[in-house]
């Protein structure tokens, strides 16, 4: 029978004077075994605390460890549930990172200027490109016609003289569900060479570095034959 502290404290004077019945004393002692506040109240009455049964302290230590274990299990469950929920949210709304074999990638040169025929796949010399405004463009499409989401960051590399020799973008790609709030069937990004930068360096190259789920791939306009190395 579980009694409240108020009831026990009403019984403590009888217990302290040894006037309580054996059943009442047993109830009081059962309560005192787990209630420090009532034990302190009994001490103020000038009565000795009841002797603890053999093995009581190990039992209390076991109960404390068990309570801590239950708290740890509960906290672990909450953290695990939150991690799973976060993973589901990111997969549904941000997407799954794309593998290299899941997309089709192409590069081309686009420009505006006089005297240049419109042939984005033709290799161009530095002299031709200096006649107008031009840019290197990457096109990425899902092989399975899935929607894609991208994050694009510009980058450039310079030589020991501070001249830009490689420039373009670093791209991250994710596949998103059709019902996701954003995403498209294809991703296009273009890097335009700034005319104010002066003549195009002899070894200049436009590159797009795509970070896939299974590694990083660099797409080079020069290696794909769009910039004439002899030009």
Give the tens place of pLDDT for each residue, 98-125. Answer: 899 999 999 888 766 555 455 555 666 6
Query: Taking 80 as the threshold, does the pLDDT of residue 63 lie above it?
Result: no
Query: Taking 70 as the threshold, does the pLDDT of residue 198 lie above it?
Result: no
Cross-strand bridge partners of residue 190 = 137
Angle at 86 between CA 85 and CA 92, to 5 degrees: 90
What is the rounded average pLDDT of the residues 70-90? 76
End-to-end CA distance of the chain: 98
25 vs 18: CA distance, rounded Å: 8
What is the rounded average pLDDT of the residues 203-218? 91
Q: How much of the chain, in percent, has pLDDT values that exceed 90?
A: 11
User: How sure is the predictor about 176, in pLDDT bands with cuts at 50, 70 and 90?
Assistant: confident
What is the rounded average pLDDT of the residues 160-175? 88
List % helix, strand, coil for the chain (3-state, nearest 5). 35, 30, 35
Report pLDDT for 56. Answer: 54
CB count within 10 Å of CB 121 equals 11
- Predicted TM-score of the model (pTM): 0.55
User: How sure is the predictor about 185, in pLDDT bands with cuts at 50, 70 and 90?
Assistant: confident
Sequence-ordered list of residues with C-beta below 8 angstroms from that of 218, at least 6 positions apart, any chain: 207, 208, 209, 210
User: How sure is the predictor about 165, in pLDDT bands with cuts at 50, 70 and 90?
Assistant: confident
Q: How much of the chain, in percent, has pLDDT values that exceed 70?
A: 70
197 vs 199: CA distance, rounded Å: 7
Q: Nearest-CA neighbor of 169 among 197, 148, 188, 141?
A: 188
107 vs 165: CA distance, rounded Å: 18
CB count within 10 Å of CB 204 equals 19
């Amino acid at each position: 029978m579980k009694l409240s502290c108020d009831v026990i404290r009403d019984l403590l004077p009888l217990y302290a004077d040894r006037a309580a019945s054996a059943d009442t004393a047993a109830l009081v002692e059962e309560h005192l075994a787990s209630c420090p506040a009532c034990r302190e109240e009994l001490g103020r009455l000038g009565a000795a605390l009841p002797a603890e049964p053999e093995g009581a302290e190990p039992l209390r230590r076991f109960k404390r460890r068990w309570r801590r274990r239950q708290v740890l299990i509960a906290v672990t469950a909450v953290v695990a549930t939150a991690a799973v929920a976060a993973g589901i949210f990111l997969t549904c709304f941000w997407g799954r990172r794309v593998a290299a074999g899941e997309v089709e990638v192409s590069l081309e040169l686009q420009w505006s200027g006089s005297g240049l025929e419109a042939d984005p796949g033709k290799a161009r010399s530095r002299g031709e490109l200096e006649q107008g405004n031009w840019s290197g463009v990457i096109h990425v499409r899902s092989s399975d016609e899935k929607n894609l989401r991208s994050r694009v960051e510009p980058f450039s590399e310079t030589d020991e003289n501070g001249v830009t020799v490689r420039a373009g973008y670093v791209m991250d790609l994710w596949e998103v569900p059709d019902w996701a709030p954003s995403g498209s069937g294809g991703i296009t990004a273009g890097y335009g060479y700034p005319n104010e930068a002066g003549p195009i360096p002899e070894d200049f190259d436009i590159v797009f570095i795509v970070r896939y789920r299974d590694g990083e791939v660099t797409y080079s306009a020069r290696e794909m034959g769009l910039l004439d190395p002899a030009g």
